Amino acid sequence: MKRFVTLLTLLTTTMIGTLSAKCCCHPEDYSFYIKVGSGISFSESANVTAPFLTWNPAIQGYHSKLGNRAIADLSLGCEIKHLVDLELGVSTRSTFKYRKFQTTLDETASYRREFDLDVVPILFSVNLLGREVPCLNWDFGCGTIYPLLGVGVGVSNLFITNFRTTGLPPSGASFPFESFSAENQYTLRKNFTYTVLFGFEYNYQERMAISTGYRWFDAGRFKGPRFLRVGTGGAVDVAGQEWKMRFRAHEWFVELKIFL
């Protein structure tokens, strides 16, 4: 990662120098575009920390992956001198699902912890294009292939839904059916998010471009629900004892850029 950041910094310095050396931008020096994209997000473990003053220790622990989900994104941007893309975009991923079967340390009870997570980031991105860099572009058919490096920063809306513990023994009015606890229908967290990507782009006659590559997505750590409903039906405030979790993912993307 350090080598990648160093390379990105070097390319940024080189390209800024190139831009500065040229005259002020004329209309032909920049192009606006709209970009749509898709891909797959391969999530890492949610790495859940559950304070044991409120949450029972379990043999299996609390860590669990959230699964792999499809991506959809939409961006508006400007390509400057075929060297830099500046864009603002929003994306979403199919609902991630946390499912963790647990057994108490004394093995007297078992149940399942679960919640769903929707991740919707809004990011400002800077992508460096190798199109005008010697030896970093290749003519292919009626277009040009070149590498791209990029970073993005912004905020993710993290929607936690269906947060609950299921599979508990019948209790109270639930008999003879299983009961559940720690129930919360909806919690929204907002968290700083950054991305780093590299890949290749193919520009076809200044009309459109298609790119694909790898992206690292990190929405950082955030808290779970604070207000919960327990098995007896009562509501509790677990301030200071919320779950702490994270969202990070390796992603493959493919994007279509249409020049306006």
Nearest to 195 by CA among 87, 33, 99: 87
Q: Is beta strand 227-229 parallel, antiparallel or unpaired with respect to 143-168?
A: unpaired
Spatial separation of the C-alpha atoms in residues 138 and 135, rounded to whole Å: 8
pLDDT at 8 over 60: no
- pLDDT at residue number 146: 95
What would the pLDDT profile of 53-96 be if each residue is shown by its tens digit? 889 899 999 999 999 999 999 999 999 988 999 999 999 999 99
Both tokens of residue 107? Answer: 């093995």
Looking at 3-17, 103-117, 179-193, which range is the least confident one? 3-17
- Residue at 200: amino acid letter: F
DSSP assignment, residue 64? -
What's 31-259's CATH class? mainly beta
What would the pLDDT profile of 188-215 be if each residue is shown by its tens digit? 999 999 999 999 999 998 899 999 999 9
The count of other CB atoms within 10 Å of the CB of residue 156 is 24
Domain ranges of the chain: 31-259
Beta bridge partners of 193: 154
- pLDDT at residue number 170: 65
CA distances (Å), 151 to each of 64, 130, 196, 255, in order?
A: 28, 15, 5, 15
Q: Is beta strand 110-129 parallel, antiparallel or unpaired with respect to 84-93?
A: antiparallel
Helix (H) or strand (E) holding 152: strand 143-168
What is the chain's mean pLDDT, rounded? 87
What would the pLDDT profile of 108-118 be if each residue is shown by its tens digit? 889 999 999 99
- pLDDT at residue number 166: 83
